[in-house]
Amino acid sequence: MRKLQEAVRFPQSVQLFRFCFRVLELRQPNDKVHDQDLGSILNYNPSDTSHWKRGKKAIRNVQSLENLAKALDVDLEIIQDLADGLVDLDEAWCDFCDAEEERRLSLEEPGVRIERRDRSLEIEKVAQEILAKANVTTVPVHIPELISAFPFIQLMPGDVSDKLARSSRVRPGHYAIRFRKGDIRAHTRTAIAREIARIVLLSEREKFKFTSRCETLSQAEIVDFANALLVPREALAVEIQKISTRVNMVKALADLFWAPKSVIRSRLSSILFETASNSVFEAAALEARISVQDRTEMADEEFLDEEFSEDANSLSFSKKQGRTTPTNAPSSVH
């Protein structure tokens, strides 16, 4: 056992291999994928590929990471975060699925994207009412504070193997959310918030007076609702104006709100498009349509920072809020 543990010198490389292999299987559903299919992307021979797979070889070269991102059509930042050990396989897969969903929606008719914008305004209003009911006054929003606004939902740690969190109905009108045991990280908090959103939007929709469900936008609504709960609109814009222009805005906000960077980007985009005219959604040059290949040649955060900086000062908010920043991820749910 000790020898086996010592053999895995670079566990982050193992995670990267598994993620890339899983994506390759998704991209080639009609073909059986072999390890060397992945290794060949980096011009590895079978021995190098085996070492990568078993964690005996670190994948750190920037060009190698870029080649993987381009070949697999994946956001470069997801690949980089995996290689650096900043996220694990499940967290990276969550980010990947979010990106795939946004890509799918970007290819929908303009009317669908306009409807999403309109529904997000409705979601924003409900989220603000819930946060007020939960008496959330600081950031990050702690999960126990948030769950207090939903007396019909019970939260408990459990054995959740395939997801970071999973919800189930325990009896009519009452639900339980089980989350993966261990240290609570940003992606786990997001997964819990999405299960709350799933329960509300799929099972208790009428209770919160939402408009009728749209199948095409069902998953987008869940994501938007969870994001609005974890990253309150008012607090977000207040904190944006405090951030120095010399730092990475997306990363700084992600640390502050204890949320994945993908959630912060989504929130920034949704606020930008709140007052956008319908013609914006009909334009062919929307950010969501930029190919993954183009994204690897520019910093994703810089792109969004530039887009957002022009409108940040035009947003009005009633008051500033205090904040508390977690220094270490605790073992209890926050």
Give the three-class secondary structure for 101. Answer: helix
* Domain membership flag for residue 96: no
Q: Are residues 64 and 129 in the same domain?
A: no
Q: Are residues 230 and 135 in the same domain?
A: yes
How many independent structural domains does the chain possess? 2
Q: Are residues 144 and 34 in the same domain?
A: no
Q: Vertex 238, ends 234 and 242: CA angle to 5°?
A: 165
The number of CA neighbours under 13 Å toward the Cβ of 166 is 10
Structure tokens at 296: 């690897």
* Domain membership flag for residue 237: yes
**Alpha helix (H) ranges present in 28-136?**
35-39, 46-53, 62-72, 76-83, 89-106, 110-133
Give the three-class secondary structure for 14. Answer: helix
Predicted TM-score (pTM) of this structure: 0.79
pLDDT digits (tens, 9 = 90+) for 271-320: 888 877 787 777 643 454 444 445 444 444 444 444 444 444 334 333 33
Instruction: Output the pLDDT for position 143.
Output: 94
Q: Are residues 41 and 115 in the same domain?
A: no
Average pLDDT over residues 190-215: 94
Q: Are residues 193 and 49 in the same domain?
A: no
Structure tokens at 154: 């019970």
* Domain membership flag for residue 282: yes
Query: End of a domain among 86, 121, 138?
Result: 86
Helix orientation angle between 110-133 and 233-240, rounded to the nearest 10 degrees: 100
Q: Are residues 154 and 241 in the same domain?
A: yes
Q: Vertex 162, ends 156 and 164: CA angle to 5°?
A: 45
The most confident of the ranges 2-16, 107-121, 188-202 is 188-202
Domain CATH number, residue 64? 1.10.260
Instruction: Output the pLDDT for position 283.
Output: 64
Distance CA 280, CA 319 (A): 30
* Domain membership flag for residue 269: yes
Q: Are residues 175 and 269 in the same domain?
A: yes
* Domain membership flag for residue 35: yes
Q: Are residues 121 and 16 in the same domain?
A: no
Q: Vertex 309, ends 304 and 311: CA angle to 5°?
A: 110
Q: Are residues 149 and 218 in the same domain?
A: yes
Structure tokens at 1: 């056992």
Instruction: Output the pLDDT for position 173.
Output: 92
- Neighbour tally for 28: CB within 10 Å: 11
Give the residue numbers spanning the domain of 79.
2-86
pLDDT digits (tens, 9 = 90+) for 28-80: 999 999 999 999 999 999 999 999 999 999 998 999 999 999 999 999 999 99
Q: Are residues 179 and 316 in the same domain?
A: yes
Q: Are residues 220 and 150 in the same domain?
A: yes
Average pLDDT over residues 121-142: 94
* Domain membership flag for residue 242: yes
What contacts 75, CB < 8 A, 6 or more positions away? 69, 95, 96, 99, 292, 295, 300
Structure tokens at 300: 């994703």
* Domain membership flag for residue 102: no
* Sign of the Cα pseudo-torsion (292, 295, 301, 303, in order): negative
